[in-house]
Amino acid sequence: MTEYVVLIVGDGDRWWTTMSEQERKDGYAEYGRFAQQLGERGHRIVGGAELQASTTIRTVQPGGAAVTDGPFAETAEQVGGYFHIETEDLDDLLECCKIIAALGDAVQVVPTVVPDTRPS
């Protein structure tokens, strides 16, 4: 099976600062539907998590000499969560990802590097 990381990219603070309690519940229900569809369609969730707000991020700068608060780049979009998926059907995985993309955040699907396929 091929492994992918599904990244949810958007304004991560939007869920807690501008959405009503019902909107959050409805959004989380769609994430539940996404997970259910993955299982029903033969994909396997290996791991994943919702990430805390961008204000909790710490970045170790290139070279390792400095640690700063917040993300490395100034951007409105942040990774708000991820799923680690095993599947043989990328096209169907992308179809499933449309469920959560409909909530307003971008979804990036990135294949992982398998140790025996790394460039020499």
Q: How far apart are CA 101 and CA 30, in angstroms?
A: 10
The structure's pTM equals 0.83
Task: Kindly give the interhelix angle for 90-101 and 21-40, rounded to the nearest 10 degrees.
Answer: 170
Number of compact structural domains in the chain: 1
- Number of Cβ within a 10 Å radius of residue 81: 19
Domain range for 62 is 2-117
pLDDT tens digits along 14-33: 666 688 889 889 999 999 99
Cβ neighbours of residue 28 closer than 8 Å, sequence gap 6 or more: none
Domain of residue 30, CATH code: 3.30.70.1060
Per-residue pLDDT tens over the stretch 47-85: 999 888 777 888 887 888 888 776 655 566 788 899 999
Single-letter amino acid, residue 8:
I
